[in-house]
Chain A
């Protein structure tokens, strides 16, 4: 097995050893979906949710929570630690560059996100007869762009933070407003139009809209996809420019 594959394998194992990460990425979204799904009548289309099936809506929220917790809290926390502990520096004196570890981690986390989304789709389908995303192509694109934009934002947080603690802190500071504006705490349908507009410009807000729409069978508005792509490119480019491999 070559260096990169083994790095990805080891980082995958390390991810599975983090109980908090497993709860956040797999346990919490599934628990949320089951909890709401058991409410009588919630598996019918809901007037207040643009006629989306309640459980389907919660599953879309689950997808957004997975993307946000991995991208905005996981990415900066782990990379900040790897920099501070000298894990990245140590790789700098091997034939494998430190960037290999970063790519291995992004691969593992993206795989975890995709797996968690698949689990959510399966759970709501089997337990509550919610149909799988009606526009699978748009759905996959929405999830892919969501991963790209939120991971890039997390990378940027890791780039500008001086310490591991700082990186994790910036991650959490991004996490809660993003969750709020995206409509995780209460639906965008109940927001004022200004708030909704602001939410649309966040990567998580656009991701949630695009995921909800494609699940219901509506083509997501191009602006949602464009906003996510823009976040991915701009935050990604800034992160590439400012990322420091060494604490000193």
Chain B
């Protein structure tokens, strides 16, 4: 199966400075592909070259087999885009905007149904300028979907949304993917990428610093998991030190803390079961993409 998106050596320079510096990746049909990185890493520039908004200086881009540079019109019929920092006309009504954008596409979705799905049905006759930040954001997502696209680019999807709305948005994006749409998600939110993305490219200074599944990124970043429990029967904790994968055992009062790598936690619980020691308050602290990101790039997202 040929990938829906193929990017090879994509490069974009401004004043001789490469903002996007030879990145390559592909995205398969039905994937949610994340592009993660700090501000100024070149995420938006890279995506805008793919969308046909900016002209790349070097490299190849094929989306649905089409080159955005030469085949923009045909590509845009099958592409949905939510851009960062765009506004609509202040006095356009929500319903008018969706109906207008629907008229641009050969096979549009039912825009009234999109209004419902994105919680905007009550805002149909409200002017854009009167919407809250979250409502505007949901309208932009709906506009990205109104053409029944095969590929959707979402740039900072949940910017301006409150926690509840973020959750709801993630669920809806997962539904979109389940209907066979390929999604490219630009984000600087770890939790969002970890929750939604099948694979993630970490972009740093215009280059791909790492590309893997969120779990793969966490694993490759190394480091240890930690499990903590309270044995309900006497336990010689040093007997756990020889369990495969375990790198350390400590006792803190009634609690035992075991650190290790890989699948050590199952091995430890198996060992406890074999010794017929029941445990209470079991907690396994996994590493998050957050800490993996710091380990992989040597810095936090904010810098």
Contact = CB atoms under 8 A, between A and B. Distances in A.
B76 A89 contact: no
Contacts of B88: 85, 87, 90
Nearest to B102: A6
Contacts of A14: 89, 91-92
The 3 closest A-B pairs by CB, nearest first: A86-B86, A85-B87, A93-B81
Interface string B18-62: 000000000000000000000000000000000111000000000
Contact of A87 (B52, B76, B87): B87
B48 to A, nearest CB: 9
Chain B interface mostly: loop
What interface size band does chain B fall in? 20 to 34
14 contacts: A2-B103, A3-B104, A14-B91, A85-B87, A87-B86, A89-B83, A93-B79, A94-B104, A94-B105, A94-B147, A95-B76, A95-B77, A95-B105, A95-B106
Contacts of B143: 90
Given A93-B76, A93-B79, 4 more contacts: A86-B83, A94-B76, A94-B101, A95-B76
Contacts of B104: 3, 94-96
Contact of A93 (B83, B87, B99): B83
A167 B173 CA distance: 39
Given A85-B87, A86-B83, A87-B89, A10 B52 contact: no
A82 interface: yes
Contacts of A13: 96
B196 to A, nearest CB: 22
A95 B106 CA distance: 9
A17 B91 contact: yes
B162 interface: no
Contact of B85 (A2, A18, A86, A92): A86
B103 A93 contact: no
B56 to A, nearest CB: 15
A10 B86 contact: no
A126 interface: no
What interface size band does chain A fall in? 20 to 34
B63 to A, nearest CB: 12
Contacts of A66: none
Interface string B260-303: 00000000000000000000000000000000000000000000
B80 to A, nearest CB: 9
Contacts of A18: 91
Nearest to B83: A90
Interface of B: 51-53, 73, 76-77, 79, 81, 83, 85-89, 91-92, 96, 99-101, 103-106, 143, 147
Given A14-B92, A18-B91, A93 B105 contact: no
Nearest to B78: A95
A10 B100 contact: yes
B86 A89 contact: yes
Nearest to A15: B91
Interface string A71-98: 0000000000010011101101111100
A86 B89 CA distance: 9
Contacts of A39: none
B103 A86 contact: no
Interface in A1-58: 1-3, 5-7, 10, 13-14, 17-18
Contacts of A85: 86-89
B79 to A, nearest CB: 7
From A1, A14, A17, A94, residue with most partner B Cβ within 10 Å:
A94
A20 to B, nearest CB: 12
Contact of A10 (B73, B87, B96, B105): B96
A122 B252 CA distance: 94
Contacts of B53: 89, 92-93, 246
Contacts of A2: 103
B107 to A, nearest CB: 11
A93 B52 contact: yes
A2 B79 CA distance: 18
A7 B100 contact: yes
A93 B184 CA distance: 15
A94 B104 CA distance: 7
A86 to B, nearest CB: 3
A198 to B, nearest CB: 38
A5 B104 CA distance: 10
Contact of A95 (B73, B85, B91, B100): B73
Contact of A82 (B81, B89, B101): B89
A193 B81 CA distance: 58
Interface in A205-248: 246
A164 to B, nearest CB: 11
Nearest to B68: A93
Given A94-B147, A95-B77, A95-B105, A6 B87 contact: no
From A86, A90, A96, residue with most partner B Cβ within 10 Å:
A90
A213 to B, nearest CB: 39
